[in-house]
Structures are given as structure tokens and as C-alpha cells.
Copies of this chain bind each other. A is one copy, B any other.
Amino acid sequence: MDLGGTSIKSGIVQTSSGKVITRTILPTQTSLGQRVIISSVKESVKGLLEYASKRGMRIDSIGLGCPGTVDLRTGKIMGMIPNLPQLKNVNIKKEMQKEFSLPVCVDNDANAMALAEHRFGAAKGCENCLFLTIGTGIGGGIILNGKIFRGSNYAGAEFGHMSIKFDGKRCRCGNIGCVESYAAAPAIRKKTKRLLRKEKSSLLFKWLKGDLEKLSNKLIFEAFKKGDRLATQVVEEVSVYLGTAIASAVNLLNPEVIVIGGGVGQAGQKFIKMIEKQVKRRVNPSAADFEMRKARLGNDAGFIGAALLRST
């Protein structure tokens, strides 16, 4: 399962091949509070177990990717969870164990995605890989020496909270100048809106018929692909922000592959190439020999990775 701020994605995964046997998606009813969210997770699992049982499949374990820092020893969700604060301090592992008699493994959602992309996707076979998921927030996963690296308190790989400006914007996390406050979906929309108020010749203004409230990141990246000047300016700025933070991470970790996923990350090859150019321009020349790739597993990455947790 992949428990996110918008939806609960889940599936049955054949862990040897990464094949998704079936998948379901439920909205995360954040307004109804913690208990309802946990119930929805359980309902999803029940549905999948029934599916499996009818077809004579054996389910080995339940894996869960969640936002926040997950203490792997206890299964508790900790730290900052700006997109799903209802889960703070929930011991999701225990909750699941109470309900189901299967082994339960929990990890941070971006870690799960990184695991999946490393085993079956864009980073298959890599020794050292940096995985980024860019959407409402910016998450990260780090593969070092062929294994997921979580840090001393499972709090590592918080890529979105690397600072790109020591005297910049204050982030919800308490840090200053976090790349997430400059380059995640809400910041991109906000910046575009501001520019659109001044420049009405953009394709976007035409598409929206002037109703800026309907602006979405999908539209911004479509306008960018069509060469719209305003959208290109926004996306170029975003690539500088991301390029700065990724270059810092590359100068520290010298990975051979960087995988970009998430809603914004899926914006296309042209955007990936733009970020790559910024990073190559900035990194230590000895570390510049990396490849930047688009994530391959899309929305399935989170729950595929969660399914792999038991064997890693």
C-alpha cells in the first residue's frame, strides 16, 4: 500500500518479478480524521485479501509506504507530515497487526518508491542512486552500495528539505530556503499565477479563459511543452532550484543514477534534460558522470516498493 495525502493506492505484487496482479485506489478522507483514514487502509487490505483468496493466491506480507519518518523498529510514524498530519504518532504497524495475521512492514513512502525503482525500474542494478519524487512535496530515497540507506534514526533522504538559500523562505518544516518551498507543485503554481496576472499573452491565460483558480501543474507543463514563454520561464527557474539542491546531493553522494518521479517529475523528458543540464553545470567534474532518468513505475512505485520491504 501507498498511503498518501490524496489517495490510498494498493495492489497485490508478485515480489519476484514486480508484476502488479491487481490494484485499487481509494481517496484519503483527510477531513474525516485519523480513525477513518486507518479504516480505509484496512478496507483496502481486506478487499485485496479477498481477491487473493478467491484466486488461491498466497499473500506473504503486508507492506506500507507512508509519509513522515517511520521508525522501523516500532512501526510508528513520526516527524513532520505536512500533507497528512492526522497520521502523526500513529503506530500504523500495530494497527495493521491487530487486524491481520500477516507480517507487516512499514517505511517512508519515498523510500518504498526508491526500492521499487531500484529493483524493477529506472535504477535497476545501480550501486548508488538518488531517487526524488516531486509533487505536492519533494521526497527522496537513497540507495548506497546497492541498498536503501535510511540514516541513524530512519530520518535520512529528506531531499525536499535541503536548503538552496540560507536567507530564503521559511518552510513548514522550520528550515529556511528548502527546495520544496521553491520547486514543489504549490510553489510552481503560485509563481505561475503571479506572472499570469501581469502577462496575459500566455497560452495558459487563453486555456484558462482568465480563471487563474483553475491553473494546474499539468497545464503549466503542457504550455511548457508547447514552448509558451511564460511557462518556459517558470520551468527554467524550477530547474535551477532543483539543479542546485541535486548538485549539492551529488557532490556529497556521487551517485551514478538520479531518478526523478512524482507528479511534477512525470512532466516529461524535456524537463528532466533541463534539470540534468543545471546539475551537470554545477557539480564537481569528477562527480558529473551520472545519468538522470525518469521514474518508470509511475503511481505503482509506492506499493510495489512496500511489497518489497519484507525482503530488504
What is the interface of chain A, defined by CB distance below 8 A to chain B?
A: 69, 78-80, 127-128, 140, 142, 144-145, 149-159, 161-167, 173-177, 240-241, 244-245, 247-249, 251-256, 281-287, 289-290
Contacts and interface: CB of A to CB of B under 8 A. Distances in A.
Contacts of A177: 164, 244
B247 A175 contact: yes
A80 B248 contact: no
A253 B251 CA distance: 13
Contact of A176 (B140, B150, B151, B244): B244
Given A163-B282, A166-B240, A254 B156 contact: yes
B174 A281 contact: yes
Contacts of A281: 174
A82 to B, nearest CB: 11
Given A144-B144, A162-B248, A166-B240, 15 more contacts: A69-B286, A79-B284, A79-B285, A144-B149, A152-B290, A156-B252, A156-B254, A156-B287, A157-B252, A158-B284, A159-B252, A163-B247, A163-B282, A174-B281, A252-B253
B69 A175 contact: no
B79 A153 contact: no
Contacts of A144: 144, 149
Given A152-B127, A153-B286, A175-B283, A158 B251 contact: yes
Contacts of A165: 164-167
A156 B287 CA distance: 7
A133 to B, nearest CB: 15
A133 B284 CA distance: 18
A153 B174 CA distance: 34
A284 to B, nearest CB: 5
A247 B160 CA distance: 12
Contacts of A128: 151-152
Contacts of A286: 69, 78-80, 153-155
A36 to B, nearest CB: 26
B247 A249 contact: no
A282 B164 CA distance: 13
26 contacts: A69-B286, A79-B285, A79-B286, A80-B284, A80-B286, A140-B252, A142-B252, A151-B254, A152-B256, A152-B290, A153-B256, A153-B287, A155-B287, A156-B251, A156-B254, A156-B287, A158-B251, A158-B252, A161-B251, A162-B252, A163-B247, A164-B166, A173-B284, A174-B281, A175-B283, A176-B244
A156 B284 CA distance: 9
Contact of A289 (B153, B164, B240, B256): B153
A248 B248 CA distance: 9
B244 A163 contact: yes
B287 A158 contact: yes
Given A162-B251, A249-B252, A155 B244 contact: no
